[in-house]
Amino acid sequence: MSEAATSTARAAGETVIVAKGLTRRFGAVTAVDHLDLRVQRAEVYGFLGPNGCGKSTTIRMLCGLLTASEGTVSVLGHALPAEAEAVKRRIGYMTQRFSLYEDLSVSENLQFLAAVHGIDGRAAKLRIDELFAQYHLGELRTQLAGTLSGGQRQRLALAAAVMHKPELLLLDEPTSAVDPQSRRDFWESLFKLADAGTTLLVSTHYMDEAERCHRLAILDRGRLVADGAPGELMARLPGMTLRVDSDNPQRLQLALARQPHVLGVAQIGASLRVLTDRKEDGVDWLRAALEKVGVEARVEPTQANLEDVFVAVTRGRSKD
């Protein structure tokens, strides 16, 4: 399916996941807190957030592996947990940790999974050969899974997750243990799946990966704090991003930290990237504020990015 066709499929509005008030508690700890979620067919939907924000718990509830403490969830038209078995036959799940058999070869792992999914005989051989070619595993077919590199394990895990051609693929931080090139190649594989009509929900804590998603949910301490296409989220940024240069960036950073309208400061090379809640007059305001404290600096606006959005939407909650 072409990119245009995929966009048309998403625009048609066929909803694959609907969650309303989804909540999961572990004793006194609320891991997921009244989450509302809608995911459309053939889109790559991202979960962005730090470790412990509820991404993995949410994915396990969407797979039917965990029961919600409160709220409702429907996946591929099936209500969970009542119809969990019907859902499991139509989805794929790639866990954060490598979960295949390390003492079996690449080929033996895929043969075993083909049998689990009821694919046998010639159909199994054709499907495994197809996966060997698609994920560049042919030369590794006799190698034990436990001896594979991080990128090779990742490709094998993805092949295993799509063995039965699932309609929905859920991936829990699948690139956390691989190098940048392997991450890039992996995401190209995900977009090929989406172009073919598969819906993907991917959790990540990498900003560059989140920016590649069609739509994105930002989670913080179990709550949904932002939802939309990355470009839309950046356009709705409640403030302005500034580049500030001076001869003494450390002194400048201390001065900025004391300013009431500064949401975040990060040093990028010799410059500082400053996020302020002053939407219209951010440049003039910051220049005047620095003059008052006797700090000389060059201030100019710069393009907002997804990290700025993340800082803006989580800043208040992180102080609780």
Shared domain check, 272 and 132:
no
Shared domain check, 183 and 288:
no
Count of structural domains, the chain: 2
Long-range (24+ apart) CB contacts under 8 A made by 315-319 are: 315/263, 315/264, 317/220, 317/221, 317/223, 317/225, 318/220
- What is residue 145's predicted lDDT score, i.e. its pLDDT? 96
- φ, ψ at 79 (rounded to 5°): -80, 135
pLDDT in tens, 42-58: 999 999 988 889 999 99
Of the residues 174, 206, 234, the one at which a domain ends = 234
Shared domain check, 55 and 140:
yes
Q: Which of 280, 317, 315 has the alpha carbon at shortest distance from 301?
A: 280
* For residue 295, pLDDT beyond 90: no
Shared domain check, 26 and 95:
yes
Shared domain check, 248 and 203:
no
Q: Report how far Cα 285 is from the mean position of its chain's Cα atoms.
A: 35
Task: Using pLDDT thresholds of 50, 70 and 90, give the confidence band for residue 319.
Answer: very low
Task: Using pLDDT thresholds of 50, 70 and 90, give the confidence band for residue 292.
Answer: confident
Shared domain check, 35 and 147:
yes
Q: Which residues are paired to 22 by β-bridges? A: 35
Shared domain check, 122 and 70:
yes
- What is residue 209's predicted lDDT score, i.e. its pLDDT? 93
Where is average pLDDT lowest: 134-138, 210-214, 232-236, 254-258? 254-258
Shared domain check, 145 and 290:
no
Shared domain check, 127 and 17:
yes
**CATH number, position 197:** 3.40.50.300
Torsion of CA 243, 244, 247, 250, to 10 degrees: -100
Shared domain check, 14 and 29:
yes
* For residue 155, pLDDT beyond 60: yes
C-alpha to C-alpha distances, 294 to 183, 284, 299, nearest whole angstrom:
45, 15, 14
- What is residue 13's predicted lDDT score, i.e. its pLDDT? 63
- What is residue 252's predicted lDDT score, i.e. its pLDDT? 87
- What is residue 5's predicted lDDT score, i.e. its pLDDT? 46
pLDDT in tens, 12-53: 568 999 999 999 999 999 999 999 999 999 999 999 988 889
Q: Is residue 313 part of a domain?
A: no
Residue 283 belongs to domain spanning: 238-303
Mean pLDDT to the nearest integer, 176-181: 84
Shared domain check, 214 and 197:
yes
Shared domain check, 157 and 244:
no
Q: At what angle do helices 150-161 and 180-195 cross, to 10 degrees?
A: 20
Q: Is residue 311 part of a domain?
A: no
Mean pLDDT to the nearest integer, 279-296: 89
Find all residues with CB under 8 Å of 157, minimum gap 6, and list them.
Answer: 94, 95, 98, 99, 100, 174
Q: Which tokens sit at 320?
A: 């609780």
pLDDT in tens, 68-102: 999 999 999 999 999 999 999 999 999 888 889 99
**CATH number, position 261:** 3.30.70.100
Q: Is residue 62 part of a domain?
A: yes
